[in-house]
Amino acid sequence: MQYLKDFLDNKANKYNQPDFIELDPISIPHKFSRKEDIEIAGFLAATLAWGNRKSILKSLNQLMIFMDNAPYDFVINSIDKELEHLNEFKYRTFNGTDCKFFIKSLQNIYKTHDGLETVFTNGFKKSQTIKNTIVSAKNIFFSINHPERTTKHLSNPNIGSAAKRINMFLRWMVRDDKNGVDFGLWKNIPSNKLMIPLDVHSGTIARNLGLLNRKQNDWKAVEELTNVLKEFDAHDPIKYDFALFGVGVNKDY
């Protein structure tokens, strides 16, 4: 186990570096300095973070242009007429209808729920688990009138989803990263409570390394892998997301 810990620590240190940012969706919120801009850009970036990374970044940069490169001001001040040009936006199955609702829901969250941080923090305070925090946030997000089709774009771990993208967003917002990749803006959710952003690639690497036995990439696998990673670093287990990602993308065994 010590050899495996040393291997993972080495890879986490190697990839948890500023040059990681450029080609990753986290580069989108890194364009901004205002807390609310970072949160909103990060939330949207994480939502669309599946598929080819170049395509993801192209679509996200286009979305930021649609939002006048001022996400918070756009969310707060937009009226229905100003959202119509979002009908042109499409990334894979996320279309203009979904995009317009996301903006409307974020507007509701910032105007009536004191913002994304408060929504997630209050959910965590009630449950002390990320699983229930995500479920609570999703319930609030869809508490206003919404297209049924759009609900699929926020995962629900209560029905088994690994919720990779929302766990990644929470990593960005919560994890106090001395190397400046993750933001660490949210101080009331402890880093050691975060859950690993698990997808097909990181799951495969985790199984190859003997870190994960469960075959499905579901919430139970997230819990299993996170608990193993806590044995290597009880304070900051999710730093190993960088290791699993870097090893997978670069075949860096």
Arithmetic mean of pLDDT, 26-45: 98
Alpha helices in 78-218, H assignment, sequence order? 80-83, 96-112, 116-127, 130-141, 164-174, 200-208
Local confidence band at 248 (pLDDT 50, 70, 90 cut-offs): confident
Query: Is the model's pLDDT at 165 over the cut of 90?
Result: yes
pLDDT tens readout for residues 45-65: 999 999 999 999 999 999 999
pLDDT tens readout for residues 107-134: 999 999 999 999 999 999 999 999 999 9
pTM higher than the cut 0.95: yes
Question: Could you tell me if residue 94 is left (phi over 0), alpha (psi between -120 and 50 degrees) or otherwise beta?
Answer: beta
Percent of the chain with pLDDT over 70: 98
**Is the separation of the CB atoms in 64 and 73 below 8 Å?**
no
pLDDT at residue number 3: 86
Using a 10 angstrom Cβ sphere, with 0-12 exposed, 13-18 middle and 19 or more buried, the burial of residue 152 is exposed
CA distances from 213 to 110, 239, 240, 243 (A): 41, 20, 17, 18
Arithmetic mean of pLDDT, 194-210: 96
Which one, of 167, 173, 168, lies nearest residue 187 by Cα?
173
Dist. CA 2–CA 80, nearest whole Å: 57
Residue 220, amino acid:
K
pLDDT at residue number 38: 98
Q: Which domain holds residue 73?
A: 2-250
Query: Is the model's pLDDT at 249 over the cut of 80?
Result: no
Count up the domains in the chain and report the number: 1
Which one, of 151, 128, 129, lies nearest residue 140 by Cα?
151
Arithmetic mean of pLDDT, 3-10: 94
Q: Which long-range contacts (CB under 8 A, 24 or more apart) does 48-56 make?
A: 48/91, 48/92, 48/94, 49/25, 49/165, 49/168, 50/92, 50/165, 50/199, 51/92, 53/23, 53/24, 53/25, 55/91, 56/25, 56/91
Local confidence band at 252 (pLDDT 50, 70, 90 cut-offs): low
pLDDT tens readout for residues 144-158: 999 999 999 999 999
